[in-house]
Amino acid sequence: MTRLLPTDINDIPTGIEKYDLELKRKTGSSLKDIAIIASGLEKANLEEAVLRVAVIPVSVGLGPISGFSAAVNAIASHIGFDSYVTGLPDVGGLDEAFRNEADIVMMADDYLFAAFNLQDRQVVSNDEATARGYVTALSCMAGSLCKKFVLLTGAGRLGILAADLLADRQTKLIIYDPDRSREKELAEKIIEKYGATVFTGMELPEALNRCEAVFDASPGCAFIKGDYIKSGTLVAAPGMPLGLDAEAYAKVAERIIHDPLQIGVATMLYCSLAVHRS
Ligand code: 2YC
């Protein structure tokens, strides 16, 4: 995932209600429902006390991103957690979280964004939660991904996690990465683990023509062109920047799930509870 910009996230707190309505319209499920399904907690008893989340700004490296903690906090609050941003960053924030009896702590440096469940020492990274949340959302939007041709773009950290979850749903995977050795390596891993059907070696236009859905796990910007994507294609496009160009986005506007943080953050929180109630 690339480093977010303030302009990517500044309107999350004021836009979260509208965002959730749009997500429900497209997938049939709310943000909270998608996070619960993605975490495998559909049948768990979650009617316990409201859990307290402390979001801690982190100043190391490139430093805080204006609006980042506020956005994470707004998402956590929206799905029903008792969430707040600590007054101090870094160690001071962690000290405050413990003294305030936080149940879950969320913080991000330039390399890792994670949720730490202080009750049972469960940790969840944004990458794994984003992969789970977005595959779940795509599956809700598609009804089922079984036997469907799904194009996965990007064989990096997020793509590797998503490939596993997509193969586990018996999708017919097409894997595309400009680095063909990385593409092949991931395909071989999936074939070995699932005995699945995995297609590689395609050029992007052909892959877009063959697939029914796209999971864009690449850091690329606007490389999926309007000319090549079929208007009925379902698209899951986690994070920034968006891999579709403006024309492609317009063609699939009603069938694309794309956000900078919402699904990943909501899924991190429920995944951090999963060990407790599985
Ligand atoms: O504001 C802060 O506390 C900063 N330390 C946060 C830095 C987050 C850097 N990571 C990213 O922008 C992206 C996010 C989508 C999560 C993972 N990478």
Give me the CATH number covering residue 241. Answer: 3.40.50.720
Residue 177: inside a domain? yes
Residue 148: domain span = 129-257
What pLDDT, on a 0 to 100 scale, did the predictor assign at position 197? 82
Domain tally for the chain? 2
Residue 238: inside a domain? yes
Position 45 confidence tier, pLDDT thresholds 50, 70, 90:
confident
Same domain, yes or no: 46 and 108: yes
Question: Is the CB of residue 107 less than 8 Å from the CB of residue 55?
Answer: yes
Same domain, yes or no: 50 and 82: yes
Residue 170: inside a domain? yes
Atom of ligand 1 nearest to the CA of 58: 3
What pLDDT, on a 0 to 100 scale, did the predictor assign at position 2? 85
In angstroms, rounded to a whole number, what is the distance separating the alpha carbons of residues 85 and 90? 12
Q: For the chain, how big is the Rg over CA atoms in Å?
A: 19
Cβ 69 under 6 angstroms from ligand 1: yes
Same domain, yes or no: 103 and 114: yes
Instruction: Report whether pLDDT(34) > 90.
Output: yes
Instruction: Report whether pLDDT(165) > 70.
Output: yes
Same domain, yes or no: 228 and 270: no
Residue 1: inside a domain? no
Same domain, yes or no: 46 and 145: no
Cβ 93 under 6 angstroms from ligand 1: no
Structure tokens at 66: 């204006």
Same domain, yes or no: 159 and 192: yes
CATH number of the domain residue 107 falls in = 3.40.50.12150
Per-residue pLDDT averaged across 27-54, rounded?
93
For the stretch 17-26, pLDDT in tens is: 999 999 999 9
Cβ 126 under 6 angstroms from ligand 1: yes
Sheet holding 213-216, edge to edge: 198-199, 172-176, 149-153, 213-216, 234-236, 256-257
Cβ 68 under 6 angstroms from ligand 1: yes
Residue 194: inside a domain? yes
In angstroms, rounded to a whole number, what is the distance separating the alpha carbons of residues 212 and 235? 9
Same domain, yes or no: 78 and 176: no
Same domain, yes or no: 21 and 39: yes
SS3 call for 116: strand
Give the residues across from 152 on adjacent strands.
Answer: 175, 215
Residue 4 identity = L
Same domain, yes or no: 201 and 211: yes
Residue 229: inside a domain? yes
- Please provide the average confidence, as pLDDT, over all residues in the chain: 96
Same domain, yes or no: 194 and 253: yes
DSSP 108: E
In angstroms, rounded to a whole number, what is the distance separating the alpha carbons of residues 40 and 29? 15
What interhelical angle do 31-38 and 12-27 show, nearest 10?
Answer: 70
Per-residue pLDDT averaged across 261-272, rounded?
98
What pLDDT, on a 0 to 100 scale, did the predictor assign at position 33? 97
For the stretch 113-124, pLDDT in tens is: 999 999 989 999
Residue 153: inside a domain? yes
What pLDDT, on a 0 to 100 scale, did the predictor assign at position 1? 57
In angstroms, rounded to a whole number, what is the distance separating the alpha carbons of residues 266 and 259? 12
Per-residue pLDDT averaged across 91-117, rounded?
98
Residue 70: inside a domain? yes
Per-residue pLDDT averaged across 135-146, rounded?
98
pTM of the model: 0.97
For the stretch 183-223, pLDDT in tens is: 999 999 999 999 988 999 999 999 999 999 999 999 999 99
Cβ 1 under 6 angstroms from ligand 1: yes
Same domain, yes or no: 114 and 149: no
Same domain, yes or no: 251 and 136: yes
In angstroms, rounded to a whole number, what is the distance separating the alpha carbons of residues 216 and 111? 20
Atom of ligand 1 nearest to the CA of 89: 3
Position 278 confidence tier, pLDDT thresholds 50, 70, 90:
very low
- 196 CA → ligand 1 middle, Å: 34
